[in-house]
Amino acid sequence: MSIHMPLLVPFLLLAALSSYGCADDDTTSDLSNGVGPSPLPSTAAFVSRAVHVDPAFIEPLSIAGAVCPNHQPFLAPMSVVFHGDGRSDRSLTQVQMQFVDRTGAIGGVMTIAQHDLVQRFGSTSLPAFGTRRFPFSFPFGCAGLPTGTLTVIVFAEDSLGREISARMHVGVRGLPH
């Protein structure tokens, strides 16, 4: 095996994961604009089996009295759910979120670093066995419509210090109630 092969593997994995977009099939409704969780290859075990966003589609909540640009008028409540892989313990190190409405307008970006995750949740450990849920509320809506796609990227580190990431797309649909 070439000495350059181990250096190439992370880039190939990143390229493979970033080539997957939103699902485009007949199971999505007109309201969601064809947006839904993306099918991912079975080789991306961390992505397809170990982590997902719940619920599969988010209905935005209206924030009473919110006035742009200081306070976003909508919240997208959801949880990032991790399932142990039975092999090694992991730790959540960062969460990134971005909302893009169905016209393509970027409605907000948020990055939550490990320090902030520890402040919110106490511990960011992801056990090898069992499930761990991290609830989030993403504020958005000063730009664009309240219907679109929330992209959630999670970064975790295993017990050997290797970084693993997953990108998920969640449909945000409907008008707030």
- Is beta strand 57-58 parallel, antiparallel or unpaired with respect to 106-113? unpaired
| Mean pLDDT within 72-78 | 93
* Other Cβ atoms closer than 10 A to 17: 18
Is 93 strand, coil or helix?
strand
- Predicted confidence (pLDDT) per residue in 6-48, tens digit: 444 444 344 443 433 433 333 333 323 333 333 333 223 344 4
- Kindly report, residue by residue over 51-66, the tens digit of the pLDDT: 999 999 999 999 999 8
Provide the residue type at 120 as one letter: R
Quote the pLDDT of residue 54. Answer: 95
Reported confidence tier of residue 86, pLDDT bands at 50, 70, 90: confident
For the entire predicted model, the pTM comes to 0.70
Give CA–CA dist 144/147, Å, rounded: 9
Alpha carbon distances (Å) from 25 to 34, 54, 118: 7, 20, 38
pLDDT tops 60 at residue 144: yes
Q: Per residue in 151-170, pLDDT tens?
A: 999 999 887 888 989 999 99
Structural domains of the chain, ranges and CATH numbers in brackets:
5-172 (2.60.40.10)
CA dihedral 62, 63, 64, 69 (to 10 degrees): -120
